[in-house]
Amino acid sequence: MIYLKTPDEVRVMRKANLIVRDTLLMVRDRIKAGVSTAEVDRWVREYIESRGAYPSCLGYEGYPASTCISIDDVVVHGIPSPKTYIEEGQIVGVDLCATIDGYHGDSARTFPIGKVSKEKLDLVQAAEDAFFEGIKGIKAGDRIGDISGAIQALVEGRGYSVVRALTGHGIGREMHEDPAVPNYGEKGRGIRLRPGMTIAVEPMINLGRYDVYTERDGWTVRTRDHSPSAHYENTVAVWDDGIEILTI
């Protein structure tokens, strides 16, 4: 079931999403080679809690950390560890959520660490560009497939692949709600967007093939060919006259 939010509910969601935005800006300014992923996770939890919110990932279906930190060929859901240290030349996806006053915010960025190869930098840029291409000109009455098809066209047009096993999602009182928001598909297909829908649009794209697998920990998703992957996500609200990005 898709839950449409009132303007008052979206106002509360803005609060959660601005905390998420600010948390990612804090991580961007501090993340560097030599820091463990567990340390980054500690930053995230302490910052979110300092804003009076709760890190939604912590304990979600048993997830053991406050954020997902995904390095190079990890697509999403990498579990922070004191044994995993960030290295020069890597790209590091940081995906986090916060909840306050009963509503969630969700966003992800992929950060280049130090001197990074051009092919990785181009991949990271393509993920961001795909997000903005996906929402460009979108408004109530359009279809989910209009977002999905635009993302796929940009990504594949640049020679990358779109992960098919994972999608974006609705968000609100629950971190994951209907509808699913695929990053591939046909324009003009899928459910119609309605005013008050709030969705997380999140291109996940690979330098190589789109095939992925989940490790034995039940969370960590890697590219099957171990090619680098990039992730860019924002929570958006749909209105009659367009889309509002809540996490920027």
**What is the C-alpha separation between 203 and 150, in angstroms, rounded?**
11
CA 99 from chain center: how many Å? 16
* Confidence band, pLDDT 50/70/90 cuts, at residue 67: very high
Integer Rg of the chain from CA: 17
Domains of the chain: 7-245 (3.90.230.10)
CA-based nearest residue to 145, from 134, 130, 137: 134
Report the half-sphere exposure of 245 (CA within 13 A, side-chain side).
15
**pLDDT tens by residue, 103-128:** 999 999 999 999 999 999 999 999 99
Q: Which residues contact 193 (CB under 8 A, 6 or more apart)?
A: 138, 139, 140, 141, 142, 143, 144, 238
CA-based nearest residue to 14, from 85, 107, 86, 82: 107
| Residue range 69-98: mean pLDDT, rounded | 98
**What is the C-alpha separation between 31 and 27, in angstroms, rounded?**
6
| Residue range 32-41: mean pLDDT, rounded | 98
- Taking the whole predicted model, whether its pTM rises above 0.95 is answered as yes
**pLDDT tens by residue, 170-191:** 999 999 999 999 999 999 999 9
**What is the C-alpha separation between 205 and 88, in angstroms, rounded?**
21
| Residue range 198-211: mean pLDDT, rounded | 98
The pLDDT assigned to 114 comes to: 97
- The answer to whether 106 and 54 have CB atoms below 8 angstroms apart is no
**pLDDT tens by residue, 8-24:** 999 999 999 999 999 99
* Confidence band, pLDDT 50/70/90 cuts, at residue 33: very high
**What is the C-alpha separation between 204 and 184, in angstroms, rounded?**
10
- The answer to whether 192 and 142 have CB atoms below 8 angstroms apart is yes
Cβ-in-10-Å burial (0-12, 13-18, 19+) of 1 comes to exposed
- For the four alpha carbons of 187, 211, 157 and 125, in that order, the dihedral sign comes to positive
**What is the C-alpha separation between 91 and 204, in angstroms, rounded?**
13
Give percent above pLDDT 90 in the chain: 100
**pLDDT tens by residue, 130-166:** 999 999 999 999 999 999 999 999 999 999 999 999 9
Structure letter (DSSP) for residue 220 = -
Q: What is the mean pLDDT of the chain?
A: 98
**What is the C-alpha separation between 152 and 162, in angstroms, rounded?**
6
The pLDDT assigned to 186 comes to: 95
The pLDDT assigned to 117 comes to: 98
The pLDDT assigned to 36 comes to: 98
